[in-house]
Structure 1
Amino acid sequence: MRISGPALAVACVSFMVTLPLLAMANQDASEASDLSEVVVTSVHARSPVQVVTDPRQPRQPIPASDAADYLKTVPGFSAIRSGGANSDPVFRGQFGSRLPILTNGSTLLGACGSRMDAPSSYISPDTYDLLTVIKGPQTVIWGPGASAGVVRFDRLPPAFVEPGVHFSASLLGATGGRHDQTAELEAGNSRMYLRGTTNHSQAQDYKDGSSQRIHSGWKKWNADLALGFTPDTRTLLELSAGMGNGHARYASRSMDGARFRRESWGVRFEKKNINAWLTKLEAQAYANHIDHVMDNYSLRPFTPSGGMAMLRASNVQRTTTGGRLAATLQPKASWQLITGFDAQRSPLDWRGGTLASPYQERPWIAEAKLSDLGWFGEASWQATQRTRWVGGLRLDHAKARRYPTGASDHRSRSALPSAFIRWEQQRENGATVYAGLGHVQRFPDYWELIPPGNSASGRGNAFITLKPEKTTQLDLGAHWTGEGWQLWASGYAGVVKDYILFDHAGPRSAVRNVDAVTIGFELGGQCQLASSWKAQATVAGTWSRNRTDGRPLPQIPPSELRVGLDYAEGPWSAGGLWRVVSAQRRYAVGQGNAVGKDFGASSGFGVLSLHASYRLHAKFKLLAGVDNVFNKTYAEHLNLAGNAGFGFPGQTRINEPGRTVWLRADMRFY
């Protein structure tokens, strides 16, 4: 029997409306159940300076397909949208290498010159244990250039006291041909462990709220394996390997992503409590290889008017190798110092082809090589029982080379400094407040320096003339907790000298430095209304200005409000999320970044989503949801815009999915 989308939506909504009544009749069956939140509608800050959460928790809208999808639930985050999957995350209006994204402490970088394969597109949140977001330039120990913040997805080593086997899995199905499968198996004892994680996810082209089909289907899979040795409770040696692949259609580009192949290797070592003053020693080495193919024929009907006159394919590869060595010193009980070195090296190669001359038969051509070597030191001082000072200094030596080599094809910059100092205090009333001042000098990245389109006159100018970007920012924050409620706030004001800006003109872009200022905030809170009811809300906004041109800075997301109401009683839970996004009237037509550009104002919108869950057993849980309940037609402000090959004018934003109904099953055997 085939059930239509609207019929399924009505059934699910009816199911969720009756949940509170059913729950009252099932209270006795729930006393041994896990009552933790089961669907994430808004990720809250756990401290004023950072967000720490479990990315395995399903989120609403529909559980995330990649890192950008999940990060959108964190206040201050948005994404440059291009259709179905593989958006590019933006935090506080900042994008790209201003926001390093690490997986298990390693750097994974895409290869496409237009960031079709953003680093976030290779990350499946369901396969990680911990997501940490550090806001602003308030740390120096996780790599260079982190002016917007740092994002870390980590897998924690499993702990086995006795020999055992752990297994967990989830299945998801949704309208629009969406279905996901995730599984994880852990086996080990107190001396060693083996952990395998795999996931598969795919979706067909979706329809927007007006039933217009959007060229957006995608498919991806990942598989990762880790072997760990724990000869004692203070020592860890872990070897890891992984791979993945997929494809994605884009209604906003003249090509689709036909291959997203990833191969990863890593080794890490940790030793804790070595002596009274050396509390931790850690070492890590990794390699991440990306093989990415773009073409205009394998995933779409070829249309000469779509921006390309013939069948073409482009194959790019990038191998990022790196390492990190760090020591944690504690000369006194009130002092701690983390110091060490990190390094990364990243060559890129390219080859292209046509149907008559396939790219597979052509040799690789070296395009660029970038590298960085950095030293860092970050200290904390517990000045009093309630007051702590944290500060850090980082020095980087960055290099970039493009090919063919010549006198103007190599540049480097030594002693790029980054530093911060932060004051934190815990008040007697339970509040925590902080104020931090940070400075980052960021060397231009591959997307800003190398691609041939990054100059109005061709290949040469940006590579030679671009200066490092210099950001100085003040961050303020507070966190209040009371009986049954909590409230947090963070704000920032930054001055950016030599901000790297793209002026887009047709297929080419002029990249230059300008001076800018940026101001913004994030607020959030939650309140326990009754024993079973909880309300929560977050709001975030950013204001930026290009001081050189006397106009707004481009690609700044509009303000966003999220309001949620959750019910939990016994094995049942239900809730709703109302997402309200304001209109964006501040824009800079034709200006942007390596991916997107501003092409006018955008309208505001509001979207309602509902969810529910029932725990069948301590080991089984069912979840259901309806996103965009009223089938609203809307588009995000940060948007690549349409491609003429699909009938979308170049100044038309791509609409988001219409009503989506999903069902998920989680199981866990420990």
Structure 2
Amino acid sequence: MTRSVVQIPARRAPVATPLAVALSFLIAGACAAGESTHVHGAPASANTADAVVTLDTLVVTDISPTLAMTFVANTKLPRQPVPASDGADYLKTVPGFGVIRSGGTNGDPVLRGMFGSRLNLLTDGGHMQGACPARMDNSLSYVSPETYDRLEVIKGPQTVLWGPGASAGTVRFERDIPFFDEPGMQFNGSLTAGSFGRNDEVVDAAFGNASAYARVTANRSESDDYEDGNGERVPSAWKKWNADVAMGWTPDADSLVEVSAGNGDGEARYAVRGMDGSQFDRTSYGLRAERRNFDGALDKVEAKLYYNDVDHVMDNYTLRDPDPTSSMPMPMASNVAQRTSGGRVALSWKTETWDLQAGVDARDSRHRKRSAMGRDAYRNVPWTTDARFDNVGVFGELGWNLTERQRLVGGLRLDRASAKDERLTTGSMMPRPNPTAGETRNETLPSALVRWEVQPVDSAIMWHVGLGHVQRMPDYWELFSPTMGPAGSANAFAGIEPERTTQLDVGMHYRAGRWDAWASLYAGRIQDYILFKYSKGMMGATTQAYNADANIRGGELGVEFRPDTNWKLGGTLAYAWGELDDEGPLPQTPPLEARVTASYDNKRWSLGALLRGVTAQDRINPGYGNVVGQDLDDSAGFAVFSLNGGYRFTDRVQLAAGIDNIFDRAYSEHLNLAGNSAFGYPADPVRINEPGRSAWLKLNVKF
């Protein structure tokens, strides 16, 4: 027997906020431990009797929002396409997201055409950053979604609570706290087998009593190279594993102290990069404390410390043989590492008319590197630190209930960010003295938002309109990866300005009877957008980073209709548009994408279908892009059809299966890696085809 993760306040908020919806989802999941139920978008309430409880969907083909701008998903449910190998792969299920592809795993997530640190990515409340200068190991490469309990996505600059720079949105992979009323155990495990040698194993087990608990999560994932729809092999194999343990003390239902530790590693072969990833070592530590339900207005006090260290090796000899005709004919390796540590202290107050969350967070990161020619020769080379970053921010977000059905939300954030250049030389092929060696940049960056939420009396529609402004410090990849900075500057570190985004977000959500429809639209102005220009010369490939102003707009639409208790039909539409001032389209903008789903579920077995259609993209800017990808040429449209099914042996044992790309279509995504030019090794631009027809089978067990 378990008790709920959080205690629900007895007062009801007139309009459901993103936080309230997320907490209600979390509460429902905890109350349903060991049962096959969960809550879909239930409002915060005095007890779970007010929530709409339904049976878990056996196979998820799309993630629907709890609010127009907020998505909360149970990451343990089977999903189609084939269960995700990393965090970016999972985000593809959320309308508006795309992935810059480089092979079978470790793609880079893109939301509404925005990339990199414009997305605030957190795992268990902490930031974890990759180390590769070309983002071979982006943050979500180290995330195994099924070892977490929840994914929360907030689109746009509509929160200031979770760190700096979130101009595109905030993504949080979170684990719940397994409180126990009496000695007991919780278990959730899965086995997955599929085409191209795919096999995954996941174990999530918790043990405890009313005073303490221990939780262990572990996974292993493996796949061979896949074949595209033409039957051609695409270098894309990977192996990964992760293991995390958390131990907590729960002296009462309102208090928690938890310590955690984790480790993981893996390898991945890439289709068009000059090197493969032969090591993805991760070490994580965490400490958190919470106390809630105080007397008076103070509702919660929480504190979090974290330490994340990634040690990544790229080479051209572990997963391939060096090509004597290439620009890297001899065995060579590059070892990079990024250590990120930080913390957060926040307090929450709540009354009948207002609620406030305020606090301070801090983050420190150090980037190191070493490299050498020869097999494993890098191990004998000393580390050198090339960059240090620090950020301290204070934040507050206030919600005010104007009337019974109207709510005003406002947020302010102020960050003090610094970056230090510790490179003595620059340039990989012909090193030269670094003109900014030892220099430190300091920036003071404000962010703010205001949002009006309305749910008219006796109306099934809830809508919001919000205006947000974010100023973002250039990240490691923008300051240290480019060959050159803006014209007239010594380098990118000296010349790149912070990015400033002002965006209007409008959304509506309609729920009535058999219908559920939503829309999330945006329009923004980006000043000093950080852009990359790619070129080739006598000395090889070069990249120039500079600032340009841009306009963006687009949105996502969705509808779901239930003809009867068993059937569900749905569809989503996502579109992003961007234009640089006087320089043409914003590069690396995904094309229009539509998804149509249909499913039948009679509580014992289910059948489902997914049709994904993507239009051609001719709004391109050849030679321009970001640190990972650049626009190549026009991309063709495509449509992919997939089927799935499932069977519940009991509420605790479920079997799911699927066939992706059932017609074996040969196609490639518009967002696609163009080669390894960020390292200085020229590569012919090439699009990577996606997997052809593939089947998978997944067994879930929980108790």
Q: TM-score range by the shorter chain?
A: over 0.9
Cα 1:192/1:297, change in 2 over 3 Å: same
Does 1:498 pair with 2:517? no
CA distance in 2, matches of 1:463, 1:364: 21
Question: 1:458, CA displacement in angstroms?
Answer: 12
- Contact 1:514/1:548 (<8 A) preserved: no
Secondary structure of 1:109's counterpart equals coil
Q: Which residue does 2:700 correspond to in 1?
A: 666
For residue 217 of structure 2, the aligned residue among 179, 197, 203 is 197
User: In structure 2, what is the equivalent of residue 509 of structure 1?
Assistant: 543
For 2:576, the equivalent position in structure 1 comes to: 542
Give the equivalent residue in structure 2 for 1:20: none
- Alignment map for 1:385-534 (pairs within 5 Å): 385-404=404-423, 409-427=438-456, 428-451=458-481, 453-455=483-485, 460-506=490-536, 507-534=541-568
Q: Does 2:82 match 1:49? A: no
- Find out whether 1:568 has 2:601 as its counterpart: yes
**Amino acid in structure 2 at the alignment position of 1:620:** V
Tell me the distance in 1 between the aligned counterparts of 2:410 and 2:564. Answer: 42
1:338 aligned partner, one-letter code: Q
Structure 2, unmatched stretches of 5+, are 1-35, 38-52, 425-434
Shift of 1:415: 2.7
Aligned with 1:126: secondary structure? helix
Name the structure 2 match of 1:603: 636
Does the CA-based 8 Å contact 1:259-1:294 persist in structure 2? yes
Match of 1:144 among 164, 172, 190: 164
Amino acid at match of 1:608: F
8 Å Cα contact 1:622/1:663 also seen in 2: yes
Tell me how far apart the structure 1 counterparts of residues 156 and 392 of structure 2 sit (CA, whole Å). 22
- Give 3-state SS (helix, strand or coil) of 1:121's partner: helix
Aligned ranges 1:269-288 → 2 under 5 Å: 269-288=289-308
Aligned partners of 2:695 and 2:556: how far apart in 1? 30
CA contact (8 A) 1:515 1:548 kept: no
The equivalent residue for 1:10 is none
How far off its partner does 1:604 sit? 0.3
Tell me which amino acid in the other structure corresponds to 2:256: L
**1:229–1:459 CA distance, 2 compared to 1 (3 A):** farther
**1:319 Cα offset (Å):** 0.5
Counterpart of 2:348 in structure 1 is 328
Taking structure 2 as the reference length, what is the TM-score of the superposition? 0.88
Identity of aligned residues (%): 48
Q: How many residues align?
A: 634
Partner of 2:25: none
- Tell me: CA distance 1:317–1:454, structure 2 relative to 1, closer, same or farther (3 Å): farther
Q: Structure 1 length as normaliser, TM-score?
A: 0.92
2:384 paired with 1:354: no
Looking at structure 2, the residues matched to 196 and 583 of structure 1 have their Cα atoms a distance apart, in angstroms, of 45
1:65 to 85, 90, 93: 85
- Per-residue deviation at 1:407? 5.9
Q: Greater relative contact order (Cα 8 A, min sep 6): structure 1 or 2?
A: 1
- Alpha-carbon distance change, 642 to 447 in structure 1, aligned in 2, over 3 angstroms: closer
Q: SS of the counterpart of 1:449?
A: helix
Secondary structure at 1:279's aligned position in 2? strand
The corresponding residue for 1:96 is 116
Q: Deviations over 1:382-411 (max 9, x none)?
A: 111100000100000111111147766423
Distance in 2 of aligned mates of 1:616 and 1:460 = 66
Residue 558 (1) aligns with residue 588 (2): no
Deviation, 1:640, is 0.6
Shift of 1:531: 2.5
- Alpha-carbon distance change, 596 to 537 in structure 1, aligned in 2, over 3 angstroms: same
After TM superposition, list the pairs within 5 Å mapping 1:217-366 onto structure 2: 217-330=237-350, 332-355=351-374, 358-366=377-385
Partner of 1:614: 647
CA distance in 1, matches of 2:130, 2:250: 33
1:71-150 superposed matches below 5 A: 71-150=91-170
Say which is worse superposed, 74-83 or 301-310, in terms of deviation: 301-310
Amino acid at match of 1:431: I
**Structure 1 residues 43 and 150: alpha-carbon distance in aligned structure 2, compared to 1, 3 A threshold:** same
Residue 627 of structure 2, aligned match among 572, 590, 594: 594
Summarize deviations over 1:38-89 as a string: whole Å, max 9, x none.
Answer: 1111111111221111111111110111111110010000000011000000
Partner residue of 1:7?
none
**Match for residue 4 of structure 1?**
none
Q: Residue by residue, what CA displacement relative to the aligned partner does 1:411-450 show, whole Å, maximum 9, x if unpaired?
A: 3334310000000001221210000000000010000001
Mind listing any 5+ residue stretches in structure 1 that lack a counterpart? 1-29
Q: Deviations over 1:284-311 (max 9, x none)?
A: 1100000000001110121133332321
Q: CA RMSD in A?
A: 1.9
Deviation, structure 1 residue 167:
1.5
Distance 2:548 2:615 in 1: 27
Change over 3 Å in CA distance of 1:196–1:639 after alignment to 2 = same
Which position in structure 1 is the counterpart of 2:401? Answer: 382
Gap change, CA 1:457 and 1:470, over 3 Å in 2: closer
Deviations 1:519-542 (A, max 9, x none): 001000100022321101000001
Deviation at 1:334, TM superposition (A): 0.8
- Is contact 1:516-1:548 (8 Å) kept? no
289-298 or 446-455: bigger deviation: 446-455
